[in-house]
Amino acid sequence: MSPATGRPSWTRLVQVALRSVHIACMGLVLGGIALGGGFERLRGAILLTVASGLLLAVIDLAKGPGFLLQGSGATLLLKLALLGLGNLFAGARLEWYLAATVVASIGSHMPASWRHFSLLTGRAPE
């Protein structure tokens, strides 16, 4: 929220739009994989998922690289590791991607004190 206007900042609006695209496209990817779809069939949804995820990460990193040492950054890194395992072990891709989705959901919905908890200092900012 902008203190001057009481309205959400443009950054927040962009994040909400990107997150919506990211969730919708990841749902298409998961459903497509569950139904046996390959890369060619899922290319558009995969590319939009990756692009929106990268943009979301850039926005968070622009706020400061310390983000990666907080609870939300740690869940992002764990999610990326699980997605990497899904690519490495293609026979269990759906399971790895589902695990990544669960981690991402927990990371996005955990209390702010956990999301901003610093793994470096052992506490959340006040």
pLDDT single digits (tens) 53-67:
999 999 989 988 888
* Residue 2 pLDDT: 59
105 in the same domain as 81:
yes
Q: Which domain holds residue 91?
A: 65-126
* Residue 6 pLDDT: 65
81 in the same domain as 40:
no
54 in the same domain as 70:
no
DSSP 9: -
> What percentage of the chain has pLDDT greater than the value 70?
93
48 in the same domain as 92:
no
Write out the H or E segment, with its range, that includes residue 11.
Answer: helix 10-34
52 in the same domain as 5:
yes
**pTM reported for the whole predicted model:** 0.85
* Distance (Å) of CA 65 to CA 21, 73, 92, 104: 24, 9, 32, 19
* Residue 1 pLDDT: 58
87 in the same domain as 114:
yes
> What is the token pair recorded at 37?
């779809």
57 in the same domain as 71:
no
| pLDDT tops 90 at residue 98 | yes
Counted domains in the chain? 2
45 in the same domain as 25:
yes
Q: Of 63, 84, 100, which residue is a domain's last?
A: 63
